[in-house]
Amino acid sequence: MSKDRRGSNAEDIVYVRNEVGPVIGYSADSGVGIIQTDGFTFKDLNQDGELHPYKDWRLPAEERAADLAGRMSIEQIAGLMLYSKHQAVPASKGFFPATYNGKPYAESEVEPYALTDQQLAFFISDNVRHVLLTTLESATAAAHWNNHAQALVEGLGLGIPVNNSSDPRHGTDASKEYNAGAGGDISMWPESLGLAATFDPQLVREFGAIAAQEYRALGIATALSPQVDIATDPRWSRFDGTFGEDPLLSTDMGRAYIDGFQTTSDGGESSGGWGLGSVNAMVKHWPGGGSGEAGRDAHFGYGKFAVYPGNNFNEHLLPFLEGAFKLQGGTDKASAVMPYYTISYKQDLVNGENVGNSYSSYLIKDLLREKYEYDGVVCTDWGITEDEPAAVDVFFSRPWGVETGYTVAERHYKALMVGVDQFGGNNDAAPILEAYQIGIDIHGEDFMRKRFEQSAVRLLKNMFRVGLFENPYVQAEESVQTVGKADYMTKGYEAQLKSIVLLKNKQNLLPLPKGKTVYIPKRYRPAGTNWFGAVTPEIYDYPVNTHVVNHYFHLTDQPEEADYGLVFITSPDSGFGYSREDADNGGNGYVPISLQYGAYTAEDAREQSIAGDERDVLNRSYRGKVVVPSNTSDLAMIQRTKAAMKGKPVIVILHLFKPAVVQEFEGEIEALVVNFGVQDQAVLDILIGNSEPSGLLPLQMPANMRTVEEQCEDVPHDMDVHVDSEGNAYDFSFGLNWQGVIRDQRTASYTRQR
């Protein structure tokens, strides 16, 4: 045994190294000491000098968790069941107001990693031990924040550490609620849809292994990912967070992702694949959220219903049952599952309930827990227990199906009784404690105590397996060396290159000679509102970093001087399927979600919606209504560039966040390159041939909006696809390289016969 005492800022962490066994890390100021027995060292977490089973790292995680759960008060277990609202470091970059000694961050004169007043309150008063981290100022700030939080809770009660978590943060776009930590100094990879476009599960497993090392260096031990919903409706706003629409590809990618995150294979393994390099994966969203009616999303009341007109519910379970629950790396199955907000409409075959998935006895208890024998953590999606907002388009709580007839505490009780363990986005223990009392009145205290301990064991087991009880601390200097290190950046960039799909290359125009003169039109986006309802400004600027472009081409703003026109666009963005203006003018509020760039009239939409409710409207049909995408100017930009180039080649670079109807412009251009969220230089490296395109479409590109309206929200591969001027069909698994259509082991393995 040897001691290593290192202080940094307000931290004073002591490390004790067992000759055989884990390093013990504790704060010299927390009051926690060590216990020595049989030549080994253990952390005296509750400071009573006794080696209780939960302190003994030699014992299995299950045994330690059961011992600790039995020692916890109901108040402590209730805190363990909480998963915090989004927390940024420093809090000035977060979604929610926070203070430091009563002052906002800008006036507080504290370090960026200081704990906020609100964090101190939920750690101490509400016993919160699971935290969702979003924007982190730096790896250094993240490491110090983690250490401050761990030192605080280590000295409280039983010494239970903090289990920090993150939504995906390895992409390049941090503008979305479920991707808020992306970008920055961490290694950058394609979005999940781009990972899917590689059709390479081994690459995805490597991503998971690298991402896990960066997460642990930031003090993060749980990933709120992957999103394995099969995106069977092409209009869904969360399409790009999935592995696409194919069940088999999503299954293989999801399995590889989780194996990468959860498996420790560098010598730090402790048991069954778990170890100090492991990160718990919370797979989502059970039983699949990709079939929202007409592509609407359940973050909002207008999108609460998932529908199954193709009777294809069971296929949506495959990425869970055959992927997330059948891992190959030794950890058996994903350590946690998150149900989606949606009401899986008319899928409860036992009780006939139409309630949000986390409240469904059929979906959670009967299927997930009993039929499929899942005994890991079930955590609700964020914010499902508070009362519903005043209008269906307000971003707030999502108690779908239990909006009326339930108090906040009764919603917690209902979810607990169907098998939920944890409540996302809730810092307040009071409603869980009230739910406990409700249960006592119905079942008696012995029953409720046992039920709470059951969840506590599941939650604690995930913390024991990754070594948090022995050493939850990270060293800032090592974090800086790990997060975004050169090798990880290179691997991520190589994955970006592999994710890019070449769809059209007329007369083998690509690759282009380096150093040629190119014209790139500026892109216009009108002012609007984002996901959260906040106003976004009008933008008219280059859609690509011109400094990067100048390393590859000579850039001109005069098309007559250019050899080629490069037009950068995104998928059509026509909103989320609801219009307050339409509702205010006497309509039902429901409007189309269009995948074409020009104005769209929904002549082929359903006359009667599949789902609806009396709290809003029974018929959510939008037939005959017109919608114009906010980026309809992308189409005009292509047309203007084509005219200005006077017959010289035009290449379109399309960032897909969901499928698009390209028939409006494809016949007028010479080349079409698709990406799913990559750095500018990755696209340019493809254009000049520094790298050969190898990506394949993980989705179908619809021929028109009629086929979009006629497809079934729950069925993959059921659209007529676009056929381009070269005779190529933009179907699932299609892609070109310099020789032509790609046909390899990937296409042989994943292409489905239609």
Question: Rounded distance, CA 180 to CA 195, Å?
Answer: 19
| Structural class in CATH, domain 486-577+630-750 | alpha beta
- CA dihedral (498, 503, 508, 513) positive or negative: negative
SS3 of residue 21 by DSSP: coil
Percent of the chain at pLDDT exceeding 90: 92
Question: Rounded distance, CA 275 to CA 433, Å?
Answer: 33
What pLDDT was estimated at residue 36? 96
SS3 of residue 625 by DSSP: coil
Question: Residue 96 phi/psi, 5° resolution?
Answer: -120, 145
Is 485 buried (19+), middle (13-18) or exposed (0-12) by CB count in 10 A?
middle
Q: What are 446's two structure tokens? A: 């012995």
The DSSP output letter for 115 is P
What pLDDT was estimated at residue 750? 95
Question: Rounded distance, CA 552 to CA 550, Å?
Answer: 5
What pLDDT was estimated at residue 26? 97
Amino acid present at 682: A
Question: Rounded distance, CA 596 to CA 593, Å?
Answer: 9
Per-residue pLDDT band at 465 (split at 50, 70, 90): very high
Per-residue pLDDT at 200 exceeds 50: yes
**How many CB atoms sit inside 10 A of residue 610's CB?**
17
Per-residue pLDDT band at 270 (split at 50, 70, 90): low
Per-residue pLDDT at 401 exceeds 80: yes
Per-residue pLDDT at 179 exceeds 60: no
* Helical axes 486-499 vs 201-217, angle rounded to 10°: 150
What pLDDT was estimated at residue 9? 45
What pLDDT was estimated at residue 6? 38
User: DSSP readout, 627-676?
Assistant: E--TTTHHHHHHHHHHHHHTTS-EEEEEE-SS----TTTGGG-SEEEEES
Residue with tokens 């042989």: 748
Question: Rounded distance, CA 237 to CA 699, Å?
Answer: 14
Per-residue pLDDT at 621 exceeds 80: yes
Rounded to an integer, what is the distance from CA 385 to the centroid of its chain? 21
Per-residue pLDDT band at 7 (split at 50, 70, 90): very low
Per-residue pLDDT band at 11 (split at 50, 70, 90): confident
Question: Rounded distance, CA 355 to CA 228, Å?
Answer: 21
The pLDDT tens digits of the residues spanning 520-562 come to 999 999 988 776 677 889 999 999 999 999 999 999 999 999 9
Is the Cβ–Cβ distance between 355 and 402 less than 8 Å?
yes
The pLDDT tens digits of the residues spanning 559-600 come to 999 999 999 999 999 999 999 999 999 999 999 999 999 999
Question: Rounded distance, CA 270 to CA 262, Å?
Answer: 12
Question: Rounded distance, CA 579 to CA 188, Å?
Answer: 35
Per-residue pLDDT at 314 exceeds 70: yes
What pLDDT was estimated at residue 532? 67
User: DSSP readout, 54-110?
Assistant: GG-TTS-HHHHHHHHHHHS-HHHHHHHTEEPPEEEESGGGSSS---BTTB-HHHH--
Q: Residues in the chain, how many?
A: 754
Per-residue pLDDT band at 123 (split at 50, 70, 90): very high
Is the Cβ–Cβ distance between 288 and 314 less than 8 Å?
no
Per-residue pLDDT band at 3 (split at 50, 70, 90): low
Question: Rounded distance, CA 658 to CA 676, Å?
Answer: 9
Closest CA to 713 of 231, 334, 159, 225: 231
- H runs (alpha helix) in 711-744: none
Q: What are 112's two structure tokens? A: 């960026």
Mean pLDDT within 444-452: 98
Catalytic residue among 200, 246, 573, 634: 246
What pLDDT was estimated at residue 656? 98
Per-residue pLDDT at 175 exceeds 60: no
Closest CA to 81 of 459, 339, 422, 420: 422
Q: Does the active-site annotation cover 246? A: yes
Per-residue pLDDT band at 718 (split at 50, 70, 90): very high
Catalytic residue among 167, 381, 634, 714: 381
Is the Cβ–Cβ distance between 87 and 119 less than 8 Å?
yes
Q: Does the active-site annotation cover 381? A: yes
What pLDDT was estimated at residue 1? 52
Is the Cβ–Cβ distance between 474 and 481 less than 8 Å?
no
Question: Rounded distance, CA 213 to CA 224, Å?
Answer: 15
What pLDDT was estimated at residue 8? 42
Assign 3-state DSSP to the chain and report helix, strand, coil percentages, each to 5.
Answer: 35, 20, 50
- H runs (alpha helix) in 648-744: 680-687, 705-710
Percent of the chain at pLDDT exceeding 70: 96
Per-residue pLDDT at 374 exceeds 60: yes
Could you tell me how many helices (H) and strands (E) the chain has, helices first?
20, 32
Cis upstream peptide for 399 (omega within 30°): no
What pLDDT was estimated at residue 534? 76
Per-residue pLDDT band at 177 (split at 50, 70, 90): very low
Q: Please give the C-alpha separations between residue 221 and each of 158, 163, 274, 610, 698, in angstroms, as whole numbers.
A: 20, 6, 12, 41, 30
Question: Rounded distance, CA 420 to CA 409, Å?
Answer: 14
Question: Rounded distance, CA 226 to CA 744, Å?
Answer: 27
Mean pLDDT within 360-388: 98
What pLDDT was estimated at residue 184? 59
* Model pTM score: 0.96
Domain ranges of the chain: 486-577+630-750
